[in-house]
Structure 1
Amino acid sequence: MIKVKILLILVLGILLRVDAQNIDGVCSNANIFGDPIENNEFEYIKYQPVLKLTERYSFFNQVKNNTPEELMISQMSVLDNKWLSYNFDDDLEWASEQFERIKTQDRDKNYLELLRKATYTFKNEKYSIIRVNVFDERKKTPIVVSLMSKYKNNRWVLVRNKSKSSIEFFLTNLGLDYLDALFENKNSDNTKFNQFIKSSWVGNEFRLSEAYSKLGNSMFDNDVSLKTIYERNNPTVIVSKDFQKHSPNFSFKKIKIKTDYLIPLFNQKYCTYFINDLSEFKEEGIKKLIGHIKAINLSSEDEKTEIIPIHKFEYSKKEKKIIFIKCLKKIIPNNQEYLTNVFELVDGNLNIYNELDNSDNLIKELISISKQEIITEFSNGEDNPNHPEINKLKPLVKDANGILNIEKLAQVLKENKSALSKYLDQ
């Protein structure tokens, strides 16, 4: 799984280099930047005993969603698209047959078991990921899933993620005993897995990204010695008497885990452009950006001035697309200077973005001072012999999955200006 992604990125990188002279630039949707969760820790929660949800709400006005657990009950109770959309805080539609089935299903045969939960705070937003056994009378065995939610507008809402996080990977795939052993730093009945646990902890810190990368690769390699640790190969059996019903004071055990967990910024896109007289910059939205930059930075006296994009980074943030772009202001015949602008794109409208948080300010600085190759090479999974200065510093700024820590990268560039001078526009 992990190896396939790396191989694909490398192959695409080679192909893009071959074609580079025939196009205006290269864009990648790979995750480059990430931010750490608040306080570099998450909470691991064990429902003791397992929380069995058979309850249903009969009417929408009963819904509060004050906790992730209440949200689970609400989602099992949805009777129309308004209710469904409320649970996701998004406009969604299901077929009427789905609501009819929910209304008529046998609650003793269709219910949820809540087993484990991880919670953390990221960019001042609370997140919850719950491991759930979904019992559906149409299935012979329960379906194991991890459901993510976040606290938004004074209630918990479900999150639809295209890609699963490392925490979700562990919650979904490991058997319960092995999941507990990993997060609680204790031995299991699998010797190979115990070695893996030992290597994943340094003192009281859990190296989450490294553990995710290693276990993902072992799953890809179909390591027989670890076969029993996965839920799909060794399903967890819950003894029927070991349940509790939902109540405001349900029982659980909670531990705090220090970690290096980086969360990639959402919907990232990084583009580099080739500066030449033949460039037409046909990439979607780039001409509109150049037009705005001209309107902001040029006067009527600048008729002989060109705006040429160098590189651009964008990501999604609270229904907005945030765009950082560095351009060359080329004043004919001989003068030039660099410009860096930050825009927000909302419902097709492009405006200057002024609500920059700490991470945004650091990204703006990185885009502003960096030449194209520095970000590309720092995020590259393989060391490039042509850039030994960057290869030496890579371990200081990225996790085991190749995500760059924004704060650490900014600090490393600041502390190594001399060594990296050829990669910086100072």
Structure 2
Amino acid sequence: MGIRTRRTQELGELGELALRELASAAGGVRAVHSAIARRTFAAVRLGVGPAARPTQLMHDAISAGTYASIEAACTGAAKAVGAMTGGDDASDDDPRPSPSHTTLGAQTIAILHGLIGDDMERTSRVLAYPMSIRVDGRPVIPKYRALATAFPDAGAHLVVFLHGLVETESAWRLGGRPTYGERLDSEADTTSIFLRYNTGRRIATNGADLSELLEQLVQAWPVRVHRITLVGHSMGGLVSRSAAHHAAENGRRWVDLLTDVFTLGTPHLGAPLAHGVHVATAALALTPETRPFAHLLARRSAGVRDLIHGSITEDEGHASYADGFDVGVAADISVPEGVRHHHASAVVTGNPRHPVGIFVGDGLVRTDSAGGRNTLRNIGLRPDDGLAINGAHHFTLLNDERVYEWMRRALVGESDPRLRS
């Protein structure tokens, strides 16, 4: 049917995905309805006996037909949309921006990535795009000419920013304020690079991709790179650590230029919410009435599952993909030697010693996890390299004056941070 524009393909795939999810939701509602009906009719039969059987058969036939019709209609519509908008090639001839090139569209896709990004990678044509450098929402190929055009003032110190789960590079502009990167570029003579990636994939997979991307970037950068700094929010901090580990294990040259890693609200020891969802899924699977909800939670992405322990390698600390009450065993990967790891945490209470603040941390990540150290685990982050702020939540760390000043002080004024004690 010819070449469609990228905009048409992305919109079509979003529509197709929405219809398929609606069909799946109808199946889930049907399962809940059936389970409740079976229990209800079983109770009725205890009182009236076999006389309830014809009514149950009629109810089951009508409900089955209704739900089957809804599922078939949604599935058929999804196939039709896919056939009309699909294609092997996608052009950028449409003057209107593709959803992935707009803030709202990219955020919508990012939410889908976080929820089912690993599944989308297997089934999507254009929405499960690879990790990429982004400038004004558009991808930049890590080739000399493209980089020279996108970064006309390219410098020798690269600061690479990685967002967290269900976020995009726009998250760093929280509150409409200038980003950390923009401020560092003007005050610390750096060149900031913002990345976008599918947060539903394994953290280790994204870490390997980041390592390979940085290797290409260093080789193609318009000027010789002297220094690299990684800054990751939440999951982005785990991806940064994973990339450094991958590079060290596979002899990538870019890691020799890495001097600093900043992790902001990163669940190095895991996130309580991810742990809770894992256990809740097993609990909901115990009864027929709640089993469909367990199936819904079980669809959560591989990236979310990695947050149970803060896993950064393919085989380290990853809970079984078969949901159960056992959440697996954590194994720690220490931070690389010779790289200074700065870590920021937050508490929602004004008093950092308040029991609520200690228990919930920034609302999603506890302070001990953000610091990589508790009574059972220690990944080697130095307490002296940490920053703790109070009266702040998880997303405050994306753009906060206290965090910026701490970051700027660490990067400005010393030629070789490896020599610092």
TM-score (norm 2): 0.26
Normalized per residue, the structure richer in helix is 2
